Each structure stands twice: as structure tokens, then as C-alpha cells.
Amino acid sequence: MTTARTATPSTARAINDRLALDLLLERGPLTASELRTLTGLSRPTVADLLERLQRGGLVAPAGESAQLRRGPNARLYALVADRAHLAGIDVRSTGVSLVVADLTGRTLATAELAAEADDADLPERAVKALLAAAEDAGARELHTVAVGIPGLVDPATGELNNSGKLPRWHAGLLEALRSRPGTDVILENEVNLAGIAEHRIGAASDRDDFALLWLGLGVGASVVLGGRLRRGASGGAGEIGFLPVPGAVGLPSATGCEGGFHSLVSSAAICALGRRRGLTVPEGGVLAAATALVTAAVAGGAEEFLEELAGRIALGVSAVTVVLDPGCVVLGGELGRAGGPVLAARVERQLAALGPIRTEVRAGTAGGGAVLAGAVLTAGDAVRRELFGGVEA
């Protein structure tokens, strides 16, 4: 049972309010009696906080409990979900995906836009799509928008360090979003957002320490230690594509990761491995082809291909484990999801032969929308910190 802390009267009220709001967010509608049981607070204290939260527009009656007799004790209270609206955006080189959600994080509307490298009007189209989705969701305004984007995001300034590899419209989209009055914009590395999703709702929800290895068009990682996302001094923690590894074609450089770990496990590298192993590589975009190839290999038992792919992945994971010892590594991204538990088990076995640190390898479960899910979680956290108050329950 969670109990409130002793504090000054005003601080105690803030702590108790936050405790009740977090419980309503986590568990859904509750009766006053259930709130008393879960918080350990007295009947008058719960009555006062419910009245206070209703006046503030954060909580409202939500029917009656079917398990109780009719009357005051059966009345349910719930968060006012439309008290604020938020959005998550996943920005890739090929386009933009977005979600509009309510205060509880429930998805209300979605949209997707394809893009070309020099798509000059994409920022305007993306903002229009976001506003249209918000209107469809019944939102007059968006409180906070969290954006996941490739590249280094400075944790001190929140600015994107564009090394010149990203399409020019990426910066234009950020400028267009930040020009909207009344909306806060949070920028975060896309793999970090996927790591947040795996930690909160995915394969690592039972772990305080883990690393996510994102296997998609390229490769990246995010690190959670002590229950907190670790970004590094410049936001560069997890840029594992630059890691020098045996078997790569050369060495990475300050301007490109082509000679590093990226050259072994990128979508293009996996397609090349499949061809060398005599597998049929589907036509089309390289990410879709690599995803289909791994899916077919798992289903068809392409042993040599899967063993070599697992060995390549284990090389990069080994470097993470001997430095950080996270105890658990999650394989995410389109290719991690395609490989599933079969690929994860092979990587774990090969990893065990590369060093003395025992590490569990799991398949990601947050799905292909992990970046968007992490963006919505991040935006929701920011909104609730402001509306619920800065006191940690």
C-alpha cells in the first residue's frame, strides 16, 4: 500500500493530490473508499482532495461502482481526460507519423505523411495534418508535442545536432512546430523514445536497468539505468552504429558510421548477408526487404543466415554489456521485431561466449510504433507534471 509523506500542510496537500491523480491515471475510475485504501489517507482528507481536484477541473464523477450499493460510497471518480491534449510525432527520413492523445495517453487520432529528401513543403503539410488530427480528436489546442527524430539531441538545450545526414525538411518541421503559440515542443532521439516505451509498456517493464538495441534502417541504442534514461553529456549515448567492431569493412569516422557496427547490421548489410547465404531478398525498399528476409528466415529455419546475423548483433551487444552491465538487452526496431524470440535467443547464446557478464536478451514487445508510443508517454509526462504539480508522489 502506498502511503503519503509527512510535510507542511500545503506541501502535504500537493503530495496527496498527486498521489490520487497518479492512482486514477494508473487504475482508472476509483471510489473514495478505494482511494482511502490505496493511499492510507483519512476519510476527510480524501473528501477534501476530491473536492479540490473537481474544482480544478482534473477529476469528475464517472458513474457508480457495480460492486457497491448505490449512494455516496459507490460514486466513481475519474480523471477528466479532455482536460488537455497532446501529440507524439515520429520523424523518419521517409516521412512523418503522428498521434493525438488525451491526458491519459489514449489515442484519439492518427495521421501519416510520406516525404522525399527535398520535400520543401512537408513542414507545412505536417503541421496541417497535426491540426486536422487534433480537430478530429476534439482538441482546441495541443498542450505538448513530443517529437522523435534521428540524430543527437543536446540534453541541455533540446536542440538537434544535424550532422548534414538528415533531410533539410527535418529542421523546417521543428521550426514550424515551435512557431505554434501555446504548444510546448519536446525533441528527443527516436531510439530513446523507443527505449522509454519498452521500459514503461514493453519488454523491459520489469527492469530498472536495460539497453535497447534498435535494428531498423540503421542501428541505434538507448540506455536505461536506475530506472532513468541516460543520454550522455552531448546526447550521444547509444550511437552504437559508430562502434568499431571486427568484421566491419573499415573504421567509422566523425562524419559517417559506414565502417562501424552499422556496416554489419544495417538493413542493407542484412540484405547483402541474405544474398550471400543464397536466400531470396524481396524487391523494394531496403528496410522492407530486410524485414521480410528476417521474417522468412525465422519461419523457414534459415540456420546459417540466422546464426551469422546473431553473431554480428552479439558483437555490438557485447560492447554494451562489458561497459554498462545492464543485465538485459532488448532487440527492437523493425528487424528486432521480425527476429522475435528466435533471434533474441540466438544472440543471447552467442553473447555468452564473448564475455563473462551474464546478460538476458529479449525481443521487443512495444511493436513497430515504439517511437510514437514513447513520444506520447513523454508528452503525457510533461503535461501531467504541469497540471498535477511538480511534487513527486
Residue 6 has pLDDT above 70, yes or no: no
Distance, CA of 223 to CA of 210 (rounded, Å): 6
CA separation for the pair 41, 353 (Å, rounded):
53
The closest of 217, 64, 101, 86 to 144, measured between CA atoms, is 86
What are the pLDDT digits (tens) for 211-258?
999 999 999 999 999 999 999 999 999 999 999 999 888 888 888 888
Whole-number pLDDT of residue 295: 96
The pLDDT value recorded for residue 393 is 42
Q: Give tens-digit pLDDT for 186-199.
A: 999 999 999 999 99
Q: What does the mean pLDDT of the chain come to?
A: 91
Separation of alpha carbons 146 and 82, rounded Å: 18
What is the per-residue pLDDT for 213? 98
Q: What is the pLDDT of residue 67?
A: 65
What pLDDT does residue 308 have? 97
Q: Name the grid cell of 94.
A: 521517409
- CA pair distance 188, 199, nearest whole angstrom: 16
Report, as an integer, the average pLDDT of 337-354: 97
For residues 110 and 133, the answer to whether their CB atoms sit within 8 Å is yes
What is the mean predicted confidence (pLDDT) over 377-382? 96
| pLDDT at position 279 over 90 | yes
Tell me the per-residue pLDDT of 107-135, one tens digit each, with 9 for 90 and over: 999 999 998 767 788 889 999 999 999 99
Q: Kindly tell me if the per-residue pLDDT of 92 is higher than 80.
A: yes
Q: What is the pLDDT of residue 391?
A: 47
pLDDT at 165: 66
| pTM confidence score | 0.91
Please state, in angstroms and rounded to a whole number, the distance separating the CA atoms of residues 332 and 195: 9
CA 222 from centre of chain: 10
Region 258-282: what's the mean pLDDT? 95
